A and B are shown apart, each in its own frame.
Chain A
Amino acid sequence: MSILVGNDTRLLVQGITGREGSFHTQQMVEYGTNVVAGVTPGKAGQEVHGVPVFNTVEDAVRETGANASVIYVPARFSVDAIYEAVDNGIEVVVCITEGVPVNDMVPVYHHVKQKGAVLIGPNCPGVTSPGQAKVGIIPGFIHEPGRVGVVSRSGTLTYEVVDALTKAGLGQSTVVGIGGDPIIGTSFTDVLEMFQNDPDTDAIVMIGEIGGDDEERAAAFIKENVTKPMAGFIAGRTAPEGKRMGHAGAIISGGAGTAQGKIEALEAAGVAVASRMSEIPALLQAKMNA
Chain B
Amino acid sequence: MNVHEYQAAELLAKHGVPVNPGKVATTPDEAEQIAREFGGTVVVKAQVHTGGRGKAGGVKVVKSPEEARSAAEAILGMDIKGHTVNKVLVAQGADIAREFYLSIVMNRPARKIMVMASAEGGVEIETVAEESPEKIVQRDADPMVGLRDYQAKEVAFALGLEPTLVNGFGKIVHQLYETFIEEDATLVEINPLIITGAGEWQALDAKMSFDDNALYRKPEIEALRDMAEENETEIEAKQSGISFVKLDGNIGCIVNGAGLSMATLDAVQLAGGEPANFLDVGGGANEEQVTKAFNLVLADPNVKAILINIYGGITRGDVVARGIVAAMKNVDVKVPLVVRLSGTNAEEGKALLAEQGITAGDSMDEAAAQVVAAAGK
Q: Can you identify 16 A-B contacts, CB atoms within 8 angstroms?
A: A76-B216, A106-B106, A106-B112, A109-B143, A139-B343, A139-B344, A142-B343, A153-B259, A154-B259, A154-B262, A182-B106, A238-B268, A245-B245, A246-B243, A276-B267, A276-B365
Residue among A23, A139, A155, A238 making CB contact with B266, cutoff 8 Å: A238
| Chain A residues whose CB sits within 8 angstroms of the CB of B113 once the complex forms | 103, 106
Chain B residues near A275 (CB, 8 Å)? 266, 270
Q: A141-B344, A183-B111 are in contact. Are A75 and B258 (CB under 8 A)?
A: no
**Residue of A76, A103, A247, A278 with most partner-chain B CB within 10 A:** A103
Closest CB in chain B relative to A76 CB, distance in Å: 7
Decide: B245 and A103 in contact? CB cutoff 8 A.
no
- Cβ of B259 and Cβ of A237 under 8 Å apart? no
Instruction: Name the contact of B263 in the complex, choosing from A99, A101, A139, A157 (C-beta under 8 A).
Output: A157
| A209-B259 contact given A102-B211, A160-B311, A238-B266, CB 8 Å threshold | yes
Q: Which residue on chain B has the smallest CB distance to residue A110?
A: B143
Q: Please, how many angstroms separate the alpha-carbon atoms of A235 and B278 in the complex?
A: 12
The answer to whether A110 touches B214, judged by C-beta atoms less than 8 angstroms apart, is no
Please indicate the chain A residues that have their CB under 8 angstroms from the CB of B269 in the complex. 237-238
Q: How far is the CA of A248 from the CA of B143 in the complex (A)?
A: 21
Nearest-neighbour CB distance to chain A for B179, whole angstroms, equals 12
The answer on a CB contact under 8 Å between A212 and B314 is: no
Q: Please determine whether A240 and B247 come into contact, CB atoms closer than 8 angstroms.
A: yes
Please give, as numbers and ranges, the residues of chain A lying within 8 Å of B143 by CB-CB distance. 106-107, 109-110
Per the 8 Å Cβ criterion, residues 92-139 of A in contact with B are 99-107, 109-111, 137-139
Let me know if A180 and B262 touch, CB within 8 A: no
Task: Please report which residues of chain A, range 2-54, place their CB below 8 angstroms from some CB of chain B when the two chains form the complex.
Answer: 23, 27
Q: Are B266 and A235 in contact, CB atoms less than 8 angstroms apart?
A: yes
Choose among B256, B268, B344 the residue that contacts A156 (Cβ–Cβ < 8 A).
B256
Asked if B109 lies at the interface with its beta carbon under 8 angstroms from chain A, I say yes
Contact, CB under 8 Å: B260 / A160: yes
B364 within 8 A of partner (CB): yes
Q: In the complex, which of the residues A180, A217, A244 has the most CB atoms of chain B within 10 Å of its own CB atom?
A: A244
With A110-B144, A159-B343, A237-B269 as known contacts, state yes or no: A246 contacts B262, CB within 8 Å.
yes
**A244–B129 alpha-carbon span in the complex (Å):** 23
B343 is contacted by which of A163, A207, A217 (Cβ under 8 Å)?
A163
Min CB gap B196→A, angstroms: 30
- A245 interface neighbour in B278, B313, B344, Cβ under 8 Å: B278
> Given that A107-B143, A141-B344 are contacting pairs, would A101 and B184 also be in contact in the complex, using a CB cutoff of 8 Å?
yes
The verdict on A265 contacting chain B, using a C-beta distance below 8 Å, is: no
Q: A238 and B343: CB pair below 8 A?
A: no
Residue with the highest number of chain A CB atoms closer than 10 Å, among B106, B186, B213, B256: B213
**Are the C-beta atoms of B311 and A156 separated by less than 8 Å?**
yes
Name the CB-closest residue of A to B342. Answer: A163
Q: Which residues of B contact A141 (CB under 8 A)?
A: 344
Contact with B along A196-208 (1 / 0, CB 8 A): 0000000000010
The answer, among B108, B266, B280, B313, for a CB contact under 8 Å with A213, is B108
Q: Distance (Å) between the CB of B204 and the closest chain A CB?
A: 22
Contact B247 A159 (CB under 8 A): no
- A102 and B257 in contact (CB under 8 A), knowing A75-B213, A156-B311, A157-B263? no
**Once the chains bind, are B344 and A246 in contact (CB under 8 Å)?**
no
Given the contacts A139-B343, A246-B258, A277 and B213 also touching, CB distance less than 8 Å: no
Given contacts A75-B213, A100-B213, contact A236 B257 (CB under 8 A): no
Assuming the contacts A106-B113, A107-B144, A276-B270, asked whether A182 and B108 have C-beta atoms less than 8 A apart, the reply is yes
Kindly list chain B residues whose C-beta atoms are within 8 Å of the C-beta of A214.
109
Given A75-B213, A213-B108, does the pair A278, B363 have CB atoms closer than 8 Å? yes
Nearest to B257 among chain A residues (CB) is A156
Binary contact readout A148-165 vs B (1 if CB under 8 angstroms, 0 otherwise): 000011111111100100
Is B170 interfacial (CB-CB < 8 Å)? no
Inter-chain pairs besides A156-B255, A244-B243, 11 sampled, C-beta below 8 Å = A23-B314, A101-B214, A103-B186, A103-B214, A158-B259, A160-B342, A182-B108, A212-B108, A235-B260, A254-B129, A259-B266
